[in-house]
Chains A and B, each alone.
Chain A
């Protein structure tokens, strides 16, 4: 964990377990699904490839597993070029979204499969299958058929199967996508526990940013076939490098406007409706440039009295009750999609549509990107 914590979002590191260099992939010869992917994966880390569907994250994973061949570029594992190596000789464990357990085998036979095709002795297979099943708390399920197990149990069995032959690298392709919310959270903990216990490198693909933030050592945000940002979860959330990352990771208020004033590390931006917002810069601006602002709802203080750089009084357009919080949608800068959160503490003021409310936020919490 510490070794990984020291690694910033650099794409080139010493002795990576996996290196993508200059990888491109096109299915039709016209559009690139993956454009110029350069990525080093650190030994032992939990790396998440995060992005919307069609962003190239799954294709990248499939190329690493060997199911798809890169159109250009090379992939190496442990310093060896594996670009042309078939999947069965890469020794990578893969967990698929729909479990992909073999329906004609029992859970025990499924988990023993990678050992059987490697010609391991039967006694050894039995021992290691039992170990693997116990590791995922399925010790009593070895004789069941996959169809007799629940989704969560099936995914745990699939995990045991991908780990039983002790691969150094395990790829997980949206493994929790088919599970319900509660089970998903439980499996997230289990996956993290296994990752720490076994010290394997895990590459995890998901489109769920919460999942990515809670589990990963590093996250690579994909969009449009490129890595938009590669960083640790907190960095990604606090310092998104562009508007897409800000938008995709976490909830976000997006405002656009024109730069009216520039000073060191900060800009003033006219967002319309007579409002001028002071923001931290992520990029260089000059007066008159178009800019996009990104502001997390939870960083906006409602009805507070302190002196912050941005301070406005606006009308409430809608109140959404979410139980633990109330979400206020405000009419700000001419739009009405400006969201803030108010904790539902029981004793606070009651907000309703049409009320005016004072909102404030620090300049440092508001990021300006070039549009």
Chain B
């Protein structure tokens, strides 16, 4: 009391006090930043920057401007509907002669082949047969090597893809393309794979999440209400799968689920079925294995929230006249929603990115987006498309998270 009157009496002291408080706060902040710095630097260097760089590949168009600099400069003069002028032919011929005997010719061919199938063969064949100098008519030369150089489709592609930035990969990842006139159209039904792939990925993830919730909720509830000794045992059983690698567990499911596998043998032995069920290389197998792998991720957040639900609340509800089902519906379920939201978010996000499990126990039509990202990264070496697929995956998850956050509240999506 005496301290406040002193400050009120002398006008100077509060300002000094404020400075002191600010200094103390600044020191506190510096300390916190210093403590967080290692992890921030680590995440930034090894996580944020690489991901940003890789995502940039979905719009990056490096090959065409780099290997065909003259063509890119000249092709602006060409107007669609006619053959390109001689200058454009000459520019391309010069660019291709420069690539003669260089491995970059194959890189360029591969890039052009994404846009028009067969472009790779055209480029390599032309480069191989080009003379060392450009003759009087470059058009005749190229047309002589391959008649396709008279087809405007190839020139249109070169013109469309001449910029430093391209929307080609992003459009492809959504089963879209730019036609010869530059308008965005759907690709042929035979080539449209990605939209149904997203659909399948989301369908599988939602299905796995729902099954995990239905199986995990009662388990978590029993664990939360069990005595400490029993709860520890149950917790250990839930955690046992974490002691084994994902690959080993998935392979174990292969052994169990195959036609001559343990599951079918037991079911036949018990007389439940006569013919072995096909549980492998189909959707059933993917669901069984994914639910098994992801179940702990559902149970643990549920358990931690349920442990915080005071049994006194349930007693209070029943003393106030609510029968058990009403107690569950009006008290227990609403109080465990944060656990449901956290568990579902975790399982859904993890299962959207699943790769190994569907690859091993699923059939060709059960592969999820992760499989194709891996395929385009490792086998097809089409990093632009892999990156575009990844970018849309991040976008889809972000949208779902935002919608869920708006509906149930962001504070409830935290995993505790």
Contacts and interface: CB of A to CB of B under 8 A. Distances in A.
A104 interface: yes
A87 B319 contact: yes
Interface string B306-325: 00001011011111111110
B330 interface: yes
Interface in B324-351: 324, 326-327, 330-331, 334-335
B319 A94 contact: yes
Interface of A: 65-67, 86-94, 96, 98, 100, 102-104, 113-114, 117-118, 161-162, 165
B321 A100 contact: no
28 contacts: A65-B319, A66-B319, A67-B315, A86-B324, A87-B319, A88-B319, A88-B323, A88-B324, A91-B321, A94-B315, A94-B320, A96-B312, A96-B315, A102-B316, A102-B317, A102-B331, A103-B335, A104-B335, A113-B317, A113-B322, A114-B320, A117-B320, A117-B321, A117-B322, A117-B326, A117-B330, A118-B321, A162-B319
A237 B316 CA distance: 34
A113 B330 contact: yes
B316 A88 contact: no
Nearest to B322: A117
Contacts of A165: 320-321
A66 B317 CA distance: 13
Contact of B318 (A86, A98, A103, A104): A86
The secondary structure that dominates the A interface is: loop
A67 to B, nearest CB: 5
A179 B300 CA distance: 35
B334 A161 contact: no
Contacts of A65: 315, 319
A250 B97 CA distance: 109
A67 B316 CA distance: 10
Contacts of A113: 317, 320, 322, 330
A88 B331 contact: no
B148 to A, nearest CB: 69
Contacts of B323: 86, 88, 117
Nearest to A97: B312
Given A93-B319, A96-B312, 7 more contacts: A67-B315, A86-B324, A94-B315, A94-B316, A104-B334, A113-B317, A117-B323
Contact of B322 (A67, A88, A91, A103): A88
A104 B312 CA distance: 15
Given A117-B321, A117-B326, A100 B335 contact: no
